[in-house]
Amino acid sequence: VGLEAALTAVHVLVDKTTRRSKGLAYVTYALPENGVAAMEAFGFVKEGLGDDAALVMSETNARHEGLRAMRRLLEQALPPTG
């Protein structure tokens, strides 16, 4: 089972006039560790320790596979339109 199976909700922001995606979506995972695993799989890296820790995407990863992989995941999770 892939990480897409761990999704419980996907909210894609859509332009009200054109009804096209604005390129931003919010996803909810069943467990927090599923969300962290998904972000790490898409090129996010953990920086900092404890309460100051954050998952960030390097500029290099953003230009490469990370964002394309996230798009594929969202396409799998969303019902077909049309």
Prediction pTM value: 0.52
Q: Which stretches of the chain score pLDDT less than 50?
A: 1
Two structure tokens written together for 25: 């979506």
Residue-level pLDDT at 32: 83
Residue-level pLDDT at 80: 60
Residue-level pLDDT at 55: 73
Residue-level pLDDT at 38: 80
Residue-level pLDDT at 51: 75
Percentages (nearest 5) of helix, strand, coil residues in the chain = 45, 30, 25
Residue-level pLDDT at 27: 83
Residue-level pLDDT at 12: 85
